[in-house]
Structure 1
Amino acid sequence: MSSSVIAVFDIGKTNKKVFLIDEHYKIVYEKSAQFAETTDEDGDACEDIALLTTWMRQSLHEILQLPGFEVKAMNFSTYGASFVHINGAGEVIAPLYNYLKPYPKALQQTFYNTYGGEVAVSAATASPVLGHLNSGMLLYRLKYEHPRLYEAIHYSLHLPQYISYLITGQVYSDITSIGCHTQLWDFSRQQYHTWVQQEGISEKLAPIFPSNEVVQVSLNGRTYPTGIGLHDSSAALIPYLANFSEPFVLISTGTWCITLNPFNQTPLTSAELQQDCLCYLEYHGKPVKASRLFAGNEHEQQTKKLAEYFNVPLDFYKTVEFDPAIVSRLQKAQLINNTSIANTDTNLLFFKSLDPSQFASYEDAYHQLLLNIIVAQKYSTGLVLDNTNVKRIFVDGGFSKNPVFMHLLAAAFPGMEVYAASVAQATAIGAALAIHKHWNHLPLPGDLVALKYYVSAAVTEEEY
């Protein structure tokens, strides 16, 4: 008897994956691939959209032929801030530009001078000034720097919607991609910002389609309900929203530590925008206030320095257990003032000025590094906790598996319940959950998220 499953394509910057997920939200099949990058017309590295397109089509053909599985539906999640540009014949006519590509300063200045300044545009669109990470700014650049290409564009599809288009043949826009630091969406008016209309950019954007609805796709004589795709950060939040009704914040940790608060509806202030806060739109269209900290990157750089000095492997930090005695000793030494915080960068940068020879051991130095990061993390998370009744903090990603980070975070928020949380392949599960009603007759499971509780005393932990 075949197992009923949903196929989810999860496209990251590095790993491209396809999953089959059963009706109990267990992953029963996984395939992944990695591709070499190509370059755009300026020689800047970017995703090879031709390779990705070929892999998508081949993978779809393969999974529909797999014995033992009956694919009931399909959906997609991908990284954001990236447009794929197609002409009237549906052909890709431009590179998939990298969102880290430098943005022309003069053109950026012209844009903000025209539309009321950085503060006004950022406040309205809940988007800090981030260059190409504001994906709407790519279309603005193409219009003025590559007018012939711009004129040839029939639709610019955010990457999740392009991946869906490959299968459905239908072009749509999705609110989770539009609402992700694009500078396209006016959060107060719940429509595209005035500049999008005035520049004619809106003509290049496909109609908005609900993120929790599907289109019907006929393949090989069968019909598949198919979603239009979601931005990965919004998809990863869905399992938490599905399992928990009490207010919470989620700290998603990786290169960036992003604190997401779905229960903070207050508009972003100019001060918050200047401190790297932004808003996402979750799949129902509600704003999610978020703050960002480059803590994962800092951790990577500083552990390299420590490994070199103490002559240990790069990942030696994974062997370090939390030691409250070390923390107490370091706090008494007052290498860092945990109460005076000018901004979130202060304590991330502080460790750079410390000489590793000041520490008796790698363990001491590593605890100091995490103390610095936690001070900055407490400040960053606090920016989106203010004026809310949140009592629970969930941490997922790399730092959730780090006992030193988790114990120190619990100590930094003594009035909160702090949990290390894990959802296997959260973005893929979220994409499946978004269209649950269209393929799955079972009720939503209550055990999507595994939790480990860290008490504020920072010395004991309980399994849940």
Structure 2
Amino acid sequence: MPVIAIFDIGKTNKKLLLFDEQYNLVKEVSDRFAEVTDDDGFPCDDIASLSEWIMQQYRQLLRSEVYELKAVNFSTYGASLVHIDKEGNRIGYLYNYLKPYPPELMQQFLNARGGATVFSQQTSSPVMGHLNAGMQLYWLKENKPVFFNNIGTSLHFPQYLSFLLTGKRFAEMTNLGAHSAMWDFDKKQYHSWLQQENLRQRLCEVLPGDTAVSAGTITIGIGLHDSSAATIPYLASFTEPFIILSTGTWTISLNPFNSSLPTAAELEKGCLSYLTYQGNPVKTAMLFAGNDHDQQVKRIADHFNVAPEFYQSLEYDASLIEKLQATQTAILPFIGSATTPGVFHSRVLSGFDNAVEAYHQLIVDIIAQQALSTSMVLKNSSVKHIYVDGGFCRNKIYMQLLANTFTGIKVYATSMMQGTALGAAIAIHPHWNTQPLSKNLVTLRQWKPLGN
């Protein structure tokens, strides 16, 4: 059976997915790796174990008598760089994008660039410290000069995984477009600050995300940023204007039909521009809502002494929502930045009768904040549909409250749970697959608004 293998690397789950020529999922392997600590003692992904796992899975596929491996591609989370020395060996750590950024170093950098507002607008990226891949490089140069001087090439995470199989080094559009602070959206090239800080020579030629190279008889993609890859099956399937709400650790609203660059005020609130794999701007808004959800679920579970998974089977309860509206203090949602937590963290849990009641309020608060975030990408566009993929699309309370909020737009949960991996596969379709691309890649379930 001819297949394409996709390594889909999330913060929590590391997956290998095999698709046949009709893009049916025929095999899934999922693993988790314990975090290690970097040279400053901060947790980070174990890049050595992950690299070994990928090579092991790849070799097994090459030997498989069941699957005929035709191609491989990669999708990973963003804002992460892997460093290669001049001899081609991986060095250092896969630093965590949540690692605190030294405030004085940030100020030094911004003072030299005309301030945060100017710099953000030039790069269409909020200033977010290590969540800006370019800022990671600057930090290494200033704070770890001995290590920095040993770097021959810095690769974005998916391109490093591709390099493992091919030995070839590239940069790629979707990773540069994902709040890297490296890209000049007006000039459509690396921003000049990288040259001024002597970083540019450690970066690679930028290629579109549908590029593939050969490793013997196998076609190898150069990899994609995960949220950007998730848009590809939708663009292949639907023509009416839509936005995608990609949910996981982050909830990311992507509007492929809005190429306008964000304003300074929007940038401060987590709005930015991504790039499609061809290099076109996509107005996007990020919110750390999945992380916020998981933290608050733990707080609820601990307080009410229930299992952390208690919420997974809950149904939407309209009468409970009505009760909460009557009894709970209304707290206006707020977004100061992409990582501003929802207002639920300030609520006292003793004010709820049970975990189910508290959880309904948590989702009410998350959706109120999500509406603010998503509305930034809806401006000046005629969106007819919202497609929700990722973990929240299975959450009945989340989906119903989302539909109740966006009453003028049709809201759908997708059954394409592996949308990111599917997008990475479709991106290199012409390089390995002679079959026509199906128009039925995405199965939808519409959620209609209800009174409470």
Q: CA deviation at 1:17?
A: 2.4
- How many pairs were matched up? 451
SS of corresponding position for 1:290: strand
Distance 1:238 1:32 in 2: 23
Contact 1:410–1:458 (CA<8 Å) still a contact in 2? no
Contact 2:156–2:175 (CA<8 Å) still a contact in 1? yes
Distance 2:105 2:336 in 1: 29
| Residue identity matched to 2:153 | Y
Contact 1:252–1:397 (CA<8 Å) still a contact in 2? yes
Equivalent residue for 1:250, pick from 240, 244, 256: 244
| Residue identity matched to 1:439 | W
Q: Which residue of 2 aligns with 1:282?
A: 276
Q: Which residue of 1 aligns with 2:120?
A: 122
Distance 1:48 1:358 in 2: 41
Distance 2:80 2:175 in 1: 9
CA deviation digits over 1:199-229, x for unaligned, max 9? 22111111122211211221xxxx2222111
Q: CA deviation at 1:334?
A: 6.5
1:83 equivalenced with 2:77 (yes/no): no
Residues 306 and 25 (structure 1), Cα distance of their counterparts in 2 relative to 1, 3 Å cut: same
Deviates more, 1:304-313 or 1:82-91: 304-313
1:449 equivalenced with 2:447 (yes/no): no
Contact 2:260–2:281 (CA<8 Å) still a contact in 1? no
Contact 1:239–1:426 (CA<8 Å) still a contact in 2? yes
Contact 2:392–2:399 (CA<8 Å) still a contact in 1? yes
CA deviation digits over 1:43-64, x for unaligned, max 9? 2222333222222222211101
Equivalent residue for 2:427, pick from 434, 455, 459: 434
Q: CA deviation at 1:258?
A: 1.4
Distance 2:329 2:229 in 1: 40
Residues 307 and 447 (structure 1), Cα distance of their counterparts in 2 relative to 1, 3 Å cut: same
Q: Which residue of 1 aligns with 2:232?
A: 238
Deviates more, 1:100-109 or 1:189-198: 100-109
Listed as ranges, the gaps of 5+ residues in structure 1 are 460-464
Contact 2:231–2:423 (CA<8 Å) still a contact in 1? yes
Equivalent residue for 2:410, pick from 408, 414, 417: 417
Distance 1:358 1:55 in 2: 47
Contact 1:397–1:422 (CA<8 Å) still a contact in 2? no
Deviates more, 1:46-55 or 1:192-201: 46-55
Equivalent residue for 2:164, pick from 163, 166, 169: 166
| Residue identity matched to 2:360 | H
Residues 239 and 424 (structure 1), Cα distance of their counterparts in 2 relative to 1, 3 Å cut: same
Aligned pairs for 1:295-444 within 5 A? 295-333=289-327, 335-336=329-330, 343=335, 349-444=342-437
Taking structure 2 as the reference length, the TM-score comes to: 0.93
Distance 1:359 1:51 in 2: 44
Q: Which residue of 1 aligns with 2:264?
A: 270
Deviates more, 1:144-153 or 1:18-27: 144-153
SS of corresponding position for 1:331: helix
Q: Which residue of 2 aligns with 1:49?
A: 47
Residues 300 and 285 (structure 1), Cα distance of their counterparts in 2 relative to 1, 3 Å cut: same
Listed as ranges, the gaps of 5+ residues in structure 2 are none
Residues 70 and 145 (structure 1), Cα distance of their counterparts in 2 relative to 1, 3 Å cut: same
CA deviation digits over 1:231-288, x for unaligned, max 9? 1111122111111111111111223221111111111101101111122112111112
Q: Which residue of 1 aligns with 2:185?
A: 187
Contact 2:229–2:423 (CA<8 Å) still a contact in 1? yes
Distance 2:155 2:140 in 1: 14
Q: Which residue of 1 aligns with 2:101?
A: 103
CA deviation digits over 1:176-219, x for unaligned, max 9? 1111111100112111112012122111111122211211221x
| Residue identity matched to 1:331 | Q
Distance 1:50 1:356 in 2: 42
Contact 2:289–2:342 (CA<8 Å) still a contact in 1? no
Contact 2:155–2:203 (CA<8 Å) still a contact in 1? yes
Distance 1:45 1:358 in 2: 35
Equivalent residue for 1:69, pick from 49, 67, 73: 67
Contact 2:85–2:150 (CA<8 Å) still a contact in 1? yes
Larger radius of gyration: 1
SS of corresponding position for 2:424: helix
Distance 1:69 1:215 in 2: 21
Aligned pairs for 1:6-21 within 5 A? 6-21=4-19
Contact 1:407–1:458 (CA<8 Å) still a contact in 2? no
Contact 2:342–2:369 (CA<8 Å) still a contact in 1? no
Q: Which residue of 2 aligns with 1:462?
A: none
Q: CA deviation at 1:364?
A: 3.5
Taking structure 1 as the reference length, the TM-score comes to: 0.91
Contact 1:173–1:208 (CA<8 Å) still a contact in 2? yes
Contact 2:342–2:366 (CA<8 Å) still a contact in 1? no
